[in-house]
Amino acid sequence: MTKRDEMRVDKALQGLDFPADRDEILDFATDREADAETLTALRSIPSARYASKDEVLHAVPQEPEGDAPGGTARG
């Protein structure tokens, strides 16, 4: 996920009451008509209960920005 993707996820989850599980997060983002890239990013998070939007953002696998090959998970 790039910084731009992070902003999309952040915006898609504005107003969501936490804690929330993966399905609640996906339903909320879908109801808010999040774009396909945002929904793809959210579908990639592990099935778990998240205490905050920051936890969700950290759970989304990271992709490099620009031309750098490969992707990394946040640690």
Q: Which amino acid is at 50?
A: Y
Query: Is 69 among the domain residues?
Result: no
Quickly tell me which residue has 């592990």 as its tokens.
46
Give the mean pLDDT per block of 10 residues along the chain (75 residues): 83 97 98 95 96 95 58 49
Q: Give the residue numbers spanning the domain of 16.
A: 3-59
Query: Is 20 among the domain residues?
Result: yes
In whole angstroms, what is the distance from residue 3 CA to residue 15 CA?
20
Q: Count the domains in the chain.
A: 1
Per-residue model confidence (pLDDT) at position 68: 47
Q: Which amino acid is at 51?
A: A
- Report the predicted TM-score, pTM, of the whole model to 2 decimal places: 0.79
